Amino acid sequence: MSDEIAHDFSPLIKVYKDGRVHRLLGTATVPASIDPQTGVQSKDVVISTAPPISTRLYIPKSTLTESAESTRKLPVLVYFHGGGFCIESAFSPTYHNYLNSLVSEANVVAVSVNYRMAPEHPLQAAYEDSWAALKWVESRFTGTGPEEWLNRHADLNWVFFSGDSAGANIAHQMGLRVGSEKLVGFKLNGIVLVHPYFWGEEPIGGELALAESHRKMLAALWRFSYPLTSGSDDPFFNPGKDPKLGELGCEKVLVCVAEKDSLKDRGWYYSEVLKKSGWNGVVEVLEANEEQHVFHLFYPTCDNAVAMLKKIVSFMN
């Protein structure tokens, strides 16, 4: 075994020259359950074994108190977890806890996608897996599929995508693909991008004030996750360079940014280029003062996290 390091993205991940991958964060998992705080129920469903794609489904407490004859359907949230395309999962305590609170507050059915990760499965594996998960959700639109929770509770005319960081990047890409490929029986109403992992060759806004090493790290992590990329102006990484941006397949977008997040200006920039792209929807930005990247996952009860959750809930309702 060689202890020589090929890639060091501490505190996320290290890869050794002999090929060993050491994830420093995001490896813990928790089982699906009935959450004692919120009454939200979850379960895991395998979508595909080759490639391995699975989801964790969530239904709010309100569905458990309805009669068997009740036909009231709920909005559907498809969630893509963050972690730089290389750590975390739909089954981690961080995301499980967040989805429990979001599902409870918004009274929605959630599908949290577990996609393959770099470096073992470089991009575009995460995009393809996420699209396969959306096709799986779409195939339930007749209400006669094998997944009872979606048949009984999901209104596929009322769908939202969301994700944080790399997951927000995926949510945006899935929104573009819905716009260009159209899913039958599936209406994407809106997308919530939380601290999206976008970048570009030319620094914008306050990015020039960031340490050069940090700017290089953000670009290098992208290249690590997507070795075949054209670079930081790849349309998958810099939506401002995407000629198809105006095809985004929804009517409204909420972008959440944090004042002390080095990706903040990219979130604002995304909202500006989206407005100019020919897309005819409405985009708004919510900025949390004094906060860092994905603060809401680590401090879910702080005032700014509570305010952000309320904003996302009102956006979906």
Residues with a known catalytic role:
165, 261, 293
Task: Report the b/e string of 5-17 with b at 16+ CB within 10 A.
Answer: eebebeebbbbbe
Helix, strand, coil shares of the chain as percentages rounded to 5?
A: 35, 25, 40
Distance between CA atoms of residues 157 and 143, nearest Å: 12
* 78, 160 Cβ separation under 8 angstroms: yes
Residues 6+ apart with CB under 8 A from 207: 215, 262, 265
Give me the helix-helix angle, 166-181 and 125-138, nearest 10°. 60
β pairing state of 188-194 and 154-164: parallel
Q: Closest Cα partner for 71 from 2, 136, 147, 151? A: 151
